[in-house]
């Protein structure tokens, strides 16, 4: 495998994210020992996985002399928030193409990431409906930027191409080193799987480093077949970019589609349970769209005995907590407020 220093890269991750045991959660579930890799604590406004991808995507953009970033994501996109956050650090213009799940779903006054686009000063938002619309809308924006004399660089949805996925190959190397330092032998990794770059990059990095650690992706939007196809395709491209000679075996791609529920970003009772359980046992905030569903999957796989007592499982916490505040009403109904009183004991 090539040295990662041979690729254009900006250094945003200055130290490994913690790999920490979750003893109370593990005890409550009565299964394997769970460890959490805290990529939610990565730098960049609000934290989360995209910072690793953006080290390489923005590194590539700057190597090409870009002065403007254009990217795309869902209306509540962590990827758009973090691209914008690093664009501010780099002094780049940043334009966002936001995909509405249904026409009219975009609410300029929504909270969560949507509010943060405003606070971080996005240069423009373009709202489109339908997945096929993102790429043409980004191209159109690029033409408009060029007409103004700018040099735009396009980052695909979720930063999920071989350039971005290289960031998660870097994470795989970081994790392998951490496991060695902590003298930990783990049996399984679990990661949320959306636009595929995180899982594909991890698989490519592990394969390139000669590790056979199994990875389960828990899908957030699609069923097993289409998700495995896109993860495998991107993992192969990433393996090739990394200069690894032997092709990644197809069997190493495992994407579980059982926990998507009614659809992308739509809450499930199991997600709500998982978010509450992790918050209350470990003081860690998951998110409703990605890590909440991935943890719901992990819990179910423990209950079904797929992950067993005596094993060690690493859960990659990819971030996303700003989206909690978009679903506050549902969480409040599920987790009623604690009793409150004034200093005289009068109920408030
Ligand atoms: C918080 C969070 N976790 C996980 C993912 C999934 O990563 P990927 O899109 O690389 O599959 C995303 C993607 O947007 C995310 O924002």
Q: Is the beta carbon of 195 within 6 A of some atom in ligand 1?
A: yes
In this structure, are 287 and 320 located in the same domain? yes
Residue 346 lies in a domain: no
The answer to whether residue 17 is domain-embedded is yes
In a domain, 120, yes or no: yes
List the structure tokens of 70.
Answer: 């254009």
Looking at 109, 140, 158, which one is the last position of a domain? 158
The answer to whether residue 280 sits within a structural domain is yes
The pair of structure tokens assigned to 15 is: 């130290």
Q: In the chain, which ranges are E strands?
A: 19-21, 33-38, 68-74, 93-100, 124-129, 152-155, 188-193, 215-219, 255-256, 312-317
Other Cβ atoms within 10 Å of 262 Cβ, number: 8
In a shared domain, residues 227 and 254: yes
Provide DSSP, 41-99: G-SSTT--THHHHHHHHHHHHHHTT--EEEEEEETT-HHHHHHHHHHHHHT-EEEEEEE
> What's the 44 CA to ligand 1 centre distance in angstroms?
15
**Closest ligand 1 atom, residue 40 Cα:** 1
Residue 75 Cα, ligand 1 centroid: separation in angstroms? 14
Residue 37 alpha carbon to ligand 1 centre in Å:
14
Residue 345 lies in a domain: no
Nearest ligand 1 atom to alpha carbon 165:
10
Judgement on whether residues 28 and 97 belong to the same structural domain of the protein: no
Answer yes or no: is the C-beta of 79 below 6 A from any ligand 1 atom: yes
* Interval 209-233 mean pLDDT: 98
Whether 50 and 63 have beta carbons less than 8 Å apart is answered as no
pLDDT of residue 176: 98
Residues forming the active site: 77
Specify whether 150 is located in the same domain as 189: no
| Residue in 48, 342, 331, 2 with CA at minimum distance from that of residue 166 | 2
**Burial readout 106-115 (b: 16 or more C-beta within 10 A, e: otherwise):** beeebbbbbb
Is 347 a member of any domain? no
Range of the domain at 263: 4-48+161-334
198 lines ligand 1 (CB under 6 A): yes
Instruction: Report the distance separating Cα 176 and Cα 212, nearest Å.
Output: 11
Ligand 1 midpoint to CA 220 (Å): 9
Q: Which two tokens stand for residue 196?
A: 């595929």
318 lines ligand 1 (CB under 6 A): yes
Q: Which two tokens stand for residue 86?
A: 């690093």
pTM: 0.98
Domain endpoint, select from 158, 192, 218 = 158
Give per-residue pLDDT as tens, 36-78: 999 999 999 999 999 999 999 999 999 999 999 999 999 999 9
The pLDDT of residue 130: 80
Q: Please, which residues have CB within 8 angstroms of residue 129's CB and are 6 or more apart in sequence?
A: 99, 100, 102, 103
Structural domain count, the chain? 2
- Residue 144 has, within 13 A of its CA and on its CB side, a CA count of 12
Q: How far is the CA of 193 from the centre of ligand 1 (A)?
A: 6
Read off the pLDDT of residues 299-316 as tens digits, 9 standing for 90 and up. 999 999 999 999 999 999
Q: How far is the CA of 219 from the centre of ligand 1 (A)?
A: 10
In terms of domains, do 173 and 289 share one? Answer: yes
Asked if residue 193 and residue 123 are part of one domain, the reply reads no
Task: Verify that 181 and 296 share a domain, yes or no.
Answer: yes
Of all protein residues, the one whose alpha carbon is nearest to atom 1 of ligand 1 is: 320
Q: Is 194 in the pocket of ligand 1 (CB under 6 A)?
A: yes
**Residue 230: CB within 6 Å of ligand 1?**
no
Span 232-240, average pLDDT: 98
Decide: 67 and 58 in contact? Cβ < 8 Å.
no
Ligand 1 atom nearest to 323, measured from its CA? 1
pLDDT band (50, 70, 90) for residue 248: very high
Residue 341 forms part of a structural domain:
no
Does 114 contact ligand 1 (Cβ within 6 A)? no
Structure-token pair, residue 304: 């079904």
Residue 348: inside a domain: no
145 and 204 in a single domain? The answer is no
Q: CB-based burial of residue 210 (10 Å sphere; 0-12 exposed, 13-18 middle, 19+ buried)? A: exposed
Of 288, 311, 272, 268, the C-alpha closest to 31 is 311
Q: Is 265 found in the same domain as 174?
A: yes
Burial of 15 (0-12, 13-18, 19+ CB in 10 A): exposed
Q: What is the CATH number of the domain that holds 153?
A: 3.40.50.1100
Domain closes at, from 113, 131, 158: 158
Cβ–ligand 1 contact at 159 (below 6 Å): no
Q: Does residue 42 sit in the same domain as residue 188? A: yes
Do 253 and 166 fall within a single domain? yes
Q: Are residues 105 and 254 in the same domain?
A: no
Give per-residue pLDDT as tens, 107-160.
Answer: 999 999 999 999 999 999 999 998 799 999 999 999 999 999 999 999 999 999
Share of the chain above pLDDT 90, in %: 98
pLDDT at residue 103 in the model: 92
Protein residue closest via CA to atom 6 of ligand 1? 194
182-205 burial: b if 16+ Cβ within 10 Å, else e: eeeebebbbbbbbbbbbbbbbbbb
Probe target for ligand 1 pocket from 320, 322, 323, with the most ligand atoms within 8 Å of CB: 320
């Amino acid at each position: 495998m090539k040295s990662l220093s041979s690729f254009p890269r900006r250094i945003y991750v200055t130290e490994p994210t913690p790999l920490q045991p979750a003893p109370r959660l593990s005890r409550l579930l009565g299964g394997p020992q769970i460890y959490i890799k805290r990529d939610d604590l990565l730098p960049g406004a609000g934290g989360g996985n995209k910072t690793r991808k953006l080290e390489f995507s923005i590194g590539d953009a700057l190597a090409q002399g870009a002065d403007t970033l254009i990217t795309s994501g869902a209306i509540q996109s962590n990827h758009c928030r973090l691209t914008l956050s690093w664009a501010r650090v780099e002094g780049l213009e940043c334009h966002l193409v936001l995909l509405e799940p249904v026409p009219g779903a975009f609410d300029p006054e929504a909270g969560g990431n949507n509010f943060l686009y405003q606070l971080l000063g996005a240069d423009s938002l373009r709202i489109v409906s339908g997945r096929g619309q993102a790429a043409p809308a980004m191209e159109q924006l690029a033409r408009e930027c060029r007409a103004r004399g700018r040099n735009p660089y396009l980052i695909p949805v979720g930063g999920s191409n071989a350039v971005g996925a290289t960031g998660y190959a870097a994470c795989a190397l970081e994790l392998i080193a951490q496991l060695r330092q902590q003298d930990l032998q783990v049996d399984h990794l679990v990661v949320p799987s959306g636009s595929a770059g995180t899982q594909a990059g991890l698989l490519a990095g592990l394969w390139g480093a000669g590790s056979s650690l199994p990875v389960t992706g828990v899908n957030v939007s699609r069923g097993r077949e289409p998700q495995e196809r896109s993860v495998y395709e991107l993992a192969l491209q990433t393996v090739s970019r990394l200069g690894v000679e032997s092709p990644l075996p197809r069997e190493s791609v495992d994407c579980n589609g059982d926990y998507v529920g009614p659809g992308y970003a739509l809450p499930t009772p199991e997600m709500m349970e998982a978010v509450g359980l992790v918050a209350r046992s470990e003081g860690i905030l998951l998110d409703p769209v990605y890590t909440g569903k991935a943890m719901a999957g992990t819990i179910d796989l423990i209950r079904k005995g797929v992950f067993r007592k005596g094993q060690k499982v690493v859960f990659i916490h990819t971030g996303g907590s700003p989206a909690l505040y978009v679903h506050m009403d549902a969480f409040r109904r599920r987790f009623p407020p604690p009793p409150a009183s004034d200093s005289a004991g009068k109920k408030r």
